[in-house]
Amino acid sequence: MENDYGAESIVALEGLEPVRKRPGMFIGSTGISGLHHLVYEVVDNSIDEALAGFCRNISVIIRKDGYVTVVDDGRGIPVEHHAQHKMSALTVALTKLHAGGKFDKKSYKVSGGLHGVGVSVVNALSDHLVAQVRRNGKIYEQEFKKGNPLSEVTIKGDSSETGTTVSFYPDFSIMEKNEFSFDTLSQRLRELAFLNKGIKIKITDERTGKEHEFQYQGGIKEFVTYLNKNKESINDVFYLEKQKDDVAVEIAFQYNDTYSDIIFSFVNNINTVEGGTHLVGFKSALTRTINQYAEKTNIAKGVKVSSDDVLEGLTAVVSVKVQEPQFEGQTKAKLGNSEVKGIVDAVFSAALSSYLEENPGPARKMIEKTINAAVAREAARKARELTRRKGALDSWSLPGKLADCSEKDPAKCELYLVEGDSAAGSSKQGRNRQYQAILPLRGKILNVEKARLNKIMANNEVATMIAALGAGIAEEFNISKLRYHKIIIMTDADVDGSHITTLLLTFFYRYMKQLIEAGHVYLALPPLYKIKKGKTEKYVYSDEEKNIFVSQIGEDGVSIQRYKGLGEMNPEQLWETTMDPRVRSLKKINIDDAVEADRIFTILMGDQVEPRRQFIETHAKDVDELDV
């Protein structure tokens, strides 16, 4: 590509005032996700330079003073005089909404950035921002406050390098929390490094000294290997990279011996969490091609596999680059371009057919895996039908041990999943019967990481839970039928309680993931101690809180009661500490990093022992209290 990135490439559409008035329209929210989105917008500019072939290194620094700095070695934002706006092109890019080279197709053929709003939105939502550009042998700099320039562009010195450095401090009169997460940012940067092979992306947290460096010459092929790290694989990683009709298609996949799938799809580096036409094309080609090969080689013996069957144990990454992506869906992260479906289907089915023909050994294992899935799916369907005939999955025939609430509006209803009979007894007596339902769990539910759906359906505790929630399971799951919008896991503060919590979260993550994505799953946080001195009583929820409280009131005459189990509390205590919405603490379960979540569930709950042993050894020092 010609290096013709100049002031005339910067096209501006409107000013910044709407951003400060309605920030949610531009970055999704003013909460934690929006805060991190500010960093992604700056990084996306650097990635656009990488996509155009001009940037190899990107560095993100979370500074102790609250600023975030992003450095790249691209061409540098143009600084020359902009004829239309009669100011520096750098000022235009930072003060005009929808201003940038991505609107001029000569500068960038494709670009990331979901909303295309760019660094100007970051500037608008920053209390202070400094942009430094290395270009034309010089170092240029301009400062801004709340989106407005504090100075003209000034020359600060000479440089033989090129690139852009942006440092910003968010405006916390608009943004809600000053909590940049190293792990959340790392997840996105790692993702970007996988999607743009060869680019080196470094993140440094000056607050803690943590540092990560990501560089993957194998791109998404390495991404699949990374995702399958702790699983037993069935075939070598399949990889395809092909361009057709201005759409670049990149696909990598590998089967493993687990029973769940993990598929990531991207458009211009944007994680399309709701999928779209590219994912539909991938799935239809995969199902059709596997069926054709199975029939041709007679491995299937008359069994026809469905799209659900071919997904069992599949790890895949589908990445497309589209010049004019059309996004739709609730989160604006679903690709709508109809032509992309046919392109992905055509190039993938042709490549997969060749792969199966050339690799008969792995091909047979893949086909056998999908056939076993089809047989198990049919068994699970029959189990569901049998259970349905008995009435257990119908909302009007709820399980007998469920103590339901009287409220019928799901948005106002809460379901407590409670460990053990004694805790269930206390919580049933202590609850508010109008909107709080109690479902006691006897013992530990099945570890669903090691079982297919037909075996899961045969487990009494799981079947009871499915019936109580009322929304079905797996491919039949329908969140609109959910009977409670708060599902609260309430277990003892000991090893067994933690294990039960992990088993339940594994079940929700693998078979009712939408529950977590929609924000319906919570953990109750019962107190660890009751501290009493004279007439003073206080419940505390951590050792730190206990130590602080004891040092206000003094240690003399203090009695400290440690609650190991919920059953040790009477109904009134359980209500006033753990169940009363006015005072209780709940921990909301989110999926900030789907890659890391999948890795941890696989390590903790999967078949392989060695990764679990390594995890325990690594984190043994983090254990505060150990029940022996």
**Cα 339–chain centre separation:** 28
Give the residue among 99, 105, 121 at the shortest CA–CA distance from 39: 121
Strand 81-82 relative to strand 68-72: parallel, antiparallel, unpaired?
Answer: unpaired
Contacts (Cβ under 8 Å, ≥6 apart) of 33: none
Give the residue among 584, 570, 579, 583 at the shortest CA–CA distance from 425: 570
CB crowding 211-238: b at 16 or more within 10 Å, else e? ebebbbebbbbbbbbbbbebbebbbebb
Among 494, 545, 568, 580, the one annotated catalytic: 494
* Helix/strand/coil for 376: helix
Strand 486-490 relative to strand 436-441: parallel, antiparallel, unpaired?
Answer: unpaired
592 is catalytic: no
Bridge partners (DSSP) listed for residue 276: 335
d(CA 351, CA 253): 12
Give the residue among 283, 288, 269 at the shortest CA–CA distance from 341: 283
Among 250, 461, 492, 598, the one annotated catalytic: 492
Among 44, 419, 449, 598, the one annotated catalytic: 419
Among 496, 517, 576, 580, the one annotated catalytic: 496
Phi–psi pair at 172, nearest 5 degrees:
-85, 10
496 is catalytic: yes
d(CA 19, CA 27): 9
Bridge partners (DSSP) listed for residue 614: none
183 is catalytic: no
Give the residue among 202, 51, 22, 52 at the shortest CA–CA distance from 117: 22
358 is catalytic: no
Question: What phi-psi label fits residue 209: left (phi over 0), alpha (psi between -120 and 50 degrees) or beta?
Answer: left
Contacts (Cβ under 8 Å, ≥6 apart) of 12: 84, 85, 92, 96, 97, 98, 99
Which of the residues are catalytic? Answer: 419, 492, 494, 496
